[in-house]
Structure 1
Amino acid sequence: MNIRQAVAADLPSILDIYNDAVLHTVVTFDTVPRTMEQQEQWFEQHGKSYPVLVAEDNGLVTGWASLNRYSDRLAYARTAELSLYIRDGYRGHGLGKTMLEAILREGKTAGLHTVLSRITEGNDNSIHIHRVFGFEMVGTMREVGFKFGRLLDVVLMQKML
């Protein structure tokens, strides 16, 4: 397994993994799959300050992680929001932990100060992994999302780098 900086050629794989999550899970509150054009715009918003990593196994992108701009207001420039997605069939084998460790290291190197993570209720594995890496629960947003016919809470976790 190789973890490296994402490049534009990885976007189809990143999009495939993300859209699978859109259609089959509540880990994202997007309800309509993204287009390649949207994914390209997303990628262009990153760079050295907001890294994107991929995990690759024998040429197949098996997961990706990014630190995303939290807000376009300049006072938030050192705050990022975490995204982490693992390809179906590769979950539950420690890749998420490996990716989380790598993206946090990249965020610190990039000069970020704090990382936020919004986790949908019931995703106990994700909450556990975040705690292992020093994230603290800072609140719960009640019934802020509606997906697959139900209202969902979101836990907000934070880590200072």
Structure 2
Amino acid sequence: MDIAYIHKGLITGWRSACEQVAAEKAYLGLVSLPPFDPERALPNRMIARNWPMYCALDEGRVVGWVDIIPNEVPECAHRGTLGMGLLASHRGRGLGSRLLEAALGHAPESGLTKVELAVYTSNVSAISLFLKFGFTEAGMWRDYRRLDGVTYDALLMERFLV
């Protein structure tokens, strides 16, 4: 398994991985994604600005990703929001740790000094991973999402990089 910085050749695979994780309805904010335009996809902006975005690859196939998107408000540009996902078939193999290590190592190059995230409280393995990487609890959004009759709370986490 390899960890690689996003590039144009990975965008379609990244999108496929996002669709698969979203379809699980348990980890991402969206359960289906908007129409796909490879030229306008998020990775293009990440590449152009050298923002942290890495993919986990299994024999060249994207099986996971992580991104840290800096806040575009100038006074808040020191803060970035982390998002990530792994295909179910590749969880529990240490790829989440490797992805986080790459993105957090890259983040200061983008001027980031703080990384923030929201994770569903039901996602115990992700919370454990974030705690392992030095994230701390910063708050809670109760009744964050309602889907299929289930209410989800989101734990807010943060990590200062300096």
TM-score, with length taken from structure 2: 0.90
Please name the residue that 1:122 is paired with.
122
In the alignment, the residues of structure 1 paired with residue 46 and residue 64 of structure 2 have an alpha-carbon distance, to the nearest angstrom, of 17
Please name the residue that 1:143 is paired with.
143
In the alignment, the residues of structure 1 paired with residue 148 and residue 101 of structure 2 have an alpha-carbon distance, to the nearest angstrom, of 31
Please name the residue that 2:53 is paired with.
52
Please name the residue that 2:24 is paired with.
24
Change (3 A) 1:35 1:69: farther
Q: CA deviation at 1:55?
A: 1.6
Question: RMSD of the alignment, in Å?
Answer: 1.7
Q: CA deviation at 1:43?
A: 2.0
Q: CA deviation at 1:104?
A: 0.4
| Contact residue 6 and residue 43 of structure 2 kept, 8 A | no
Structure 2 residue runs without a partner (length 5+): none
Number of aligned pairs?
160
SS of 2:89's partner is coil
SS of 1:40's partner is coil
Q: CA deviation at 1:44?
A: 3.0
Q: What is the percentage of aligned positions where both structures have the same residue? A: 22
Structure 1 residue runs without a partner (length 5+): none
Q: CA deviation at 1:135?
A: 0.3
Q: Which amino acid aligns with 2:155?
A: V
Report runs of 4+ in structure 1 exceeding 6 Å deviation.
Answer: none
| Contact residue 49 and residue 111 of structure 1 kept, 8 A | no
Matches within 5 A, 1:1-161: 1-37=1-37, 40-47=40-47, 48-70=49-71, 72-161=72-161
